[in-house]
Amino acid sequence: MSKLISGKMLSAQINKELRNEVTQLKEKGVEPCLAVILVGDDPASAVYVRNKKRTCDELGIKSVGHDLPENTTQYQLENLIHDLNNDPSVNGILNQFPLPIGLDESKIIRKISPEKDVDGLNPLNAGLIAMGQPIFISCTPYGVLQMLKRSNISTSGKNTVVLGRSNLVGRPIATLLSSKGWDSTVTVCHSRTKNLAVITSQADILIAAIGIPEFVTFDMIKEGAVVIDVGINSIEDKSKKSGTRLVGDVAFEEAQRKASLITPVPGGVGPMTIAMLMANTVNAARLQNGLPRLNI
Ligand code: NAD
């Protein structure tokens, strides 16, 4: 049976370090502040935003919510971002996605000032990641790196297979793990990849980010591999009061019989993502006040 990499435990550790850092920053007169924009009434987005604001409170980071109606125009949203970009009391800007139909996410991503882009999605920050000089790493890939680092998993020279090539998750993870310092030999698989199981079963480290419930099965995993499950999928479960439960992209129970280390869902990558948003916000405040980036 494999051991668990607990995102719950690791994120608590990171949050504790950040809480101390925020206390020290406040003693220097710096109060980190995150602006959180939520457009529309998507219930899942509302839950994510609530969790992010709650974690800000726990760490002593100021959060300022901007809840906008479903019928907000592109112009209004871009205007708000323009104002937040120019507000010196705001260090980080997070616009919760997805946006309602009709609003252009990629334009919004480009509009957020790279210095306040705590989601790490602006093309400048994505480009710096590709050049091996990251400033803000998008939160989920950053969380995955922290899980590997804090679990003492060596990535150098290892065969790493990343399932998924999204700009949000798969692509930055693959770029980062192949960069100097991480030094993995990375293969990226996607919806058009042929003979997927042959490729995944050679992975020393397998990272699944595709959004298909329990897609990765026993036969797709190399004996002793490290398995990181980024997926969060809601499936029907009549035994639950809610009628649903969360599963990852990996069939956890069978994978656990083959992997050496594995992340659970929930309690894996999810809590790490929020912790790394907090880390990026603290770093934004540090950089904007002439202090060096924290080496988390
Ligand atoms: P996405 O839909 O943008 O991308 C999915 C990727 O999977 C695509 O690149 C696609 O080519 C690939 N794919 C689809 N079917 C495939 C197949 N059969 N074989 C191989 N590759 C295939 O999704 P995303 O935003 O990257 O998110 C992926 C998953 O991660 C989702 O379950 C999402 O909910 C979850 N997620 C979790 C967190 C977190 O904090 N834990 C954060 C972001 C996303």
Domain around 184: 139-270
Same domain, 264 and 178: yes
How far apart, in Å, are the Cα atoms of 282 and each of 123, 127, 253?
21, 21, 37
| Backbone φ, ψ for residue 68 (5° rounding) | -110, 150
Q: How many domains does one find in the chain?
A: 2
In a domain, 195, yes or no: yes
Taking the C-alpha atoms of residue 235 and residue 206, their distance in angstroms, rounded to an integer, is 23
Residues in the chain: 296
If you measure from the C-alpha of residue 167 to the centroid of ligand 1, how many angstroms do you get, rounded to a whole number?
Answer: 10
Q: Given this model, what pLDDT does residue 152 score? A: 98
CB 276 within 8 A of CB 230: no
Question: For residue 43, is the peptide bond before it cis, meaning its omega torsion is within 30 degrees of 0?
Answer: no
Q: 129 CB contacts (<8 Å, ≥6 apart)? A: 120, 137, 138, 172, 175, 176, 179
**Domain final residue, candidates 66, 82, 116:** 116
In a domain, 131, yes or no: no
Residue 201 in contact with ligand 1 by CB distance below 6 A:
no
Give the closest residue to 111 by CA, choosing from 140, 142, 83: 83
The residue contributing the CA closest to ligand 1 atom 31 is 211
In a domain, 108, yes or no: yes
pTM for this entry? 0.97
* CA trace torsion 221, 224, 230, 235 (10° rounding): 60
CB 137 within 8 A of CB 121: no
Q: What is the pLDDT along the chain (296 residues), one digit of tens a residue?
A: 789 999 999 999 999 999 999 999 999 999 999 999 999 999 999 999 999 999 999 999 999 999 999 999 999 999 999 999 999 999 999 999 999 999 999 999 999 999 999 999 999 999 999 999 999 999 999 999 999 999 999 999 999 999 999 999 999 999 999 999 999 999 999 999 999 999 999 999 999 999 999 999 999 999 999 999 999 999 999 999 999 999 999 999 999 999 999 999 999 999 999 999 999 999 999 999 999 999 88
Same domain, 152 and 43: no
**Which residue of 8, 166, 173, 276 sits with most ligand 1 atoms within 8 Å of its CB, as the best mutation to test the pocket?**
166
Angle (CA) 279-97-37 rounded to 5° is 70
**Domain final residue, candidates 82, 116, 150:** 116
Catalytic residues: 52, 96, 119
Same domain, 194 and 241: yes
In a domain, 96, yes or no: yes
Taking the C-alpha atoms of residue 258 and residue 255, their distance in angstroms, rounded to an integer, is 5
Same domain, 105 and 202: no
In a domain, 5, yes or no: no
**Domain final residue, candidates 81, 116, 151:** 116
If you measure from the C-alpha of residue 105 to the centroid of ligand 1, how many angstroms do you get, rounded to a whole number?
Answer: 17
In a domain, 178, yes or no: yes
CATH of the domain at 64: 3.40.50.10860
Give the closest residue to 93 by CA, choosing from 110, 75, 73: 110
In a domain, 243, yes or no: yes
**Helices (H) then strands (E): counts for the chain:** 10, 11
Same domain, 150 and 254: yes
Taking the C-alpha atoms of residue 14 and residue 10, their distance in angstroms, rounded to an integer, is 6
CATH of the domain at 230: 3.40.50.720
Q: Given this model, what pLDDT does residue 156 score? A: 98
Taking the C-alpha atoms of residue 196 and residue 27, their distance in angstroms, rounded to an integer, is 53
Percent helix, strand, coil in the chain, to 5, is 40, 15, 40
Return the SS3 of 182. Answer: coil
Same domain, 170 and 257: yes
Same domain, 103 and 217: no
The residue contributing the CA closest to ligand 1 atom 18 is 191
Q: What is the C-alpha R_g of the chain?
A: 19
If you measure from the C-alpha of residue 174 to the centroid of ligand 1, how many angstroms do you get, rounded to a whole number?
Answer: 13
Same domain, 101 and 172: no
Same domain, 55 and 86: yes
Same domain, 157 and 211: yes
Same domain, 108 and 152: no
Pull the structure tokens for residue 22.
């925020």
Same domain, 107 and 181: no
Give the closest residue to 10 by CA, choosing from 273, 286, 281, 285: 273
In a domain, 275, yes or no: no
